[in-house]
Structure 1
Amino acid sequence: MDAKVKRARFEPPAPIPRTIPPSRLEIIRTVLRNPLELWGLPSYTWPWIVTRFFGQTTIIANDPGLIRHVLVDNAANYEMSEIRQLVLRPILRDGLLTAEGPIWKRSRKAMAPVFTPRHARSFSRQMREQSELFAIRYVSDDSGVVRDIAVDMTDLTFAILSETLFSGGIVSEQGDFAHDVEDLLHSMGRIDPLDLLRAPKWLPRLTRIRGASVLKKFRAIVRQTMDQRRHVMERDRDSAPDDFLTLMLELERPDGLTATEIEDNILTFIGAGHETTARALAWTLYCVAHSPDVRAAMEEEIDAVLSEGADPVDWLDRMPNVRAAFEEGMRLYPPAPSINRDAVADDRYVAADGTVVEIAKGTTVLVMPWTLHRHELYWESPRVFDPSRFLPENREEIGRFQYLPFGAGPRVCIGATFALQEAVIALAVLMRSYRFDVTPDTNPWPVQKLTTQPAGGLPMRVTARRL
Structure 2
Amino acid sequence: MDVRRKPFVPPAPVPRTVPPGRLEIIRTVMRNPLELWGEPSYNEPWILTKFLNERALIVNHPGLVRHVLVDNVANYRMGRIRQLVLRPILRDGLLTAEGDTWRRSRKAVAPVFTPRHARGFADQMLSGSQRFLSRYQAAGPQGSEFDIGRDMSELTFFILSDTLFSGDVAATDDEFAADIEKLLSTMGRIDPFDLVKAPRWLPRLRRLRGRHVLAKFRGMVRRTMTGRLEVLKNDPGAAPEDFLTLLLRQMGPDGLSAEEVEDNLVTFIGAGHETTARALAWTLYCLSQSPDDLAEVEKEIDKVVAEEKDPVEWLARMPWTRAAFEEAMRLYPPAPSINREAIADDTYVDKQGARVTIPAGTTVMVMPWTLHRHRRLWDEPNAFIPARFLPANRDAIDRFQYLPFGAGPRVCIGATFALQEAVIALAVLLGHFRFESLPTTRPWPVQKLTTQPGGGLRMRVVPRR
For the superposition of Structure 1 and Structure 2, which TM-score range results when normalised by the shorter chain? over 0.9
Shift, 1:141, TM fit = 2.8
Post-superposition CA distance 1:356-382 (Å, at most 9, x none): 110110001000100000000000000
Identity, % of aligned positions:
66
Q: Please name the residue that 1:425 is paired with.
A: 424
Distance 2:442 2:261 in 1: 40
State the one-letter code of the partner of 2:71. Answer: D
* Aligned-partner Cα distance in 1 for 2:141–2:427: 21
Equivalence for 1:162: 161
Report the Cα offset of residue 223 of structure 1. Answer: 0.3
Deviations 1:317-371 (A, max 9, x none): 0000000000000000001000000001111101111111101100010001000
1:341-352 mapped onto 2 (5 Å cutoff): 341-352=340-351
**What aligned pairs does 1:232-381 form with structure 2 within 5 A after superposition?**
232-381=231-380
Equivalent residue for 1:20?
A: 18
Match of 2:391 in 1: 392
1:451 partnered with 2:450 = yes
Q: Distance in 2 between matches of 1:172 and 1:336?
A: 26
Is there any run of 5+ residues in structure 1 with no aligned partner, and where?
none
Counterparts of 1:429 and 1:133 in 2: how far apart (Å)?
10
Alignment match, 1:40: 38
| 8 Å Cα contact 2:142/2:463 also seen in 1 | no
Residue of structure 2 equivalent to 1:117: 115
Partner of 2:71: 73
Matched position secondary structure for 2:133 = helix
**Distance in 1 of aligned mates of 2:182 and 2:458:** 18
- Once residues 270 and 400 of structure 1 are traced to their aligned partners in structure 2, the CA distance between those partners, rounded to angstroms, is 28
User: In the alignment, is the contact (CA less than 8 A) between 2:125 and 2:159 conserved in 1?
Assistant: yes
Flag as ranges the 4+ runs of structure 1 deviating above 6 A: none
Q: Tell me the residue number matched to 1:89.
A: 87
Question: Offset at 1:31?
Answer: 0.3
Task: Give the match's secondary structure for 2:57.
Answer: strand
How far 1:173 sits from its partner (Å)?
Answer: 1.5
The answer (yes or no) to whether the contact 2:56–2:362 under 8 Å persists in 1 is yes
2:20 aligned counterpart, secondary structure = coil
1:162 and 1:207 map into 2 onto residues whose CA distance is 29
Partner-residue secondary structure (3-state), 2:145: strand
In 2, distance between residues paired with 1:457 and 1:299? Answer: 25
* SS of equivalent to 2:271: helix
The letter of the residue matching 1:361 is A
2:321 and 2:308 map into 1 onto residues whose CA distance is 17
Alpha-carbon distance between aligned partners in 1 of 2:357 and 2:425, rounded to the nearest angstrom = 45
- Note the alpha carbon deviations across 1:100-128, whole angstroms, 9 max, x for none: 00000000011111000110010000000
1:415-460 Cα deviation digits (max 9, x unpaired): 0000000000000001111000001121110000110000110000
Contact residue 11 and residue 443 of structure 2 kept, 8 A: yes
1:169-184 alignment runs, 5 A limit: 169-184=168-183
Measured on the aligned residues, the alpha-carbon RMSD in Å equals 1.0
**Larger deviation: 305-314 or 388-397?**
305-314
In the TM superposition, what is the alpha-carbon distance from 1:201 to its structure 2 partner? Answer: 1.2
Deviation for aligned residue 1:243: 0.3
Superposed CA deviations along residues 41-98 of structure 1, whole A, max 9, x for unmatched, are 0000000001101221000000000000000000000000000000000000000000
C-alpha offsets along residues 179-198 of structure 1, whole Å, 9 cap, x if unaligned? 11010000011111011111
Q: Please list, as runs of the form range in 1=range in 2, the aligned pairs for 1:192-231 lying within 5 A after superposition.
A: 192-231=191-230
In 1, the alpha carbon distance for the partners of 2:128 and 2:440 equals 29
Give the TM-score, by structure 2 length.
0.99
Which residue number in structure 2 is paired with residue 464 of structure 1?
463
- 2:54 maps to what in 1? 56
Whole-angstrom CA distance in 2 between matches of 1:219 and 1:384:
40
2:209 alignment partner, SS class: helix
Paired letter, 2:112: V
Question: SS of the counterpart of 2:278?
Answer: helix
- 1:226-278, CA deviations, whole angstroms, 9 ceiling, x for partnerless residues? 00000001112111000000000000100000000000000000100000100
What is the DSSP-based 3-state SS (H/G/I as helix, E as strand, rest coil) of the residue aligned with 2:446?
A: strand
SS in 1 for 2:171: coil
Question: SS state of the match for residue 127, structure 1?
Answer: helix
Pairwise CA distance, 1:143: 2.6
How far the C-alpha of 1:218 sits from its partner, in A, is: 0.6
Residues in 1 aligned to 2:245 and 2:341: alpha-carbon distance in whole angstroms = 35
Structure 1 residue 309: Cα displacement? 3.6
Measure, in 2, the Cα distance between the counterparts of 1:462 and 1:328.
22
TM-score calculated relative to the size of structure 1: 0.98
- Alignment partners' CA distance in 2, 1:66 and 1:27: 25
Is 1:100 matched up with 2:90?
Answer: no
Other structure's SS at 1:428 match: helix
Cα distance in 2 for partners of 1:141, 1:132 equals 16
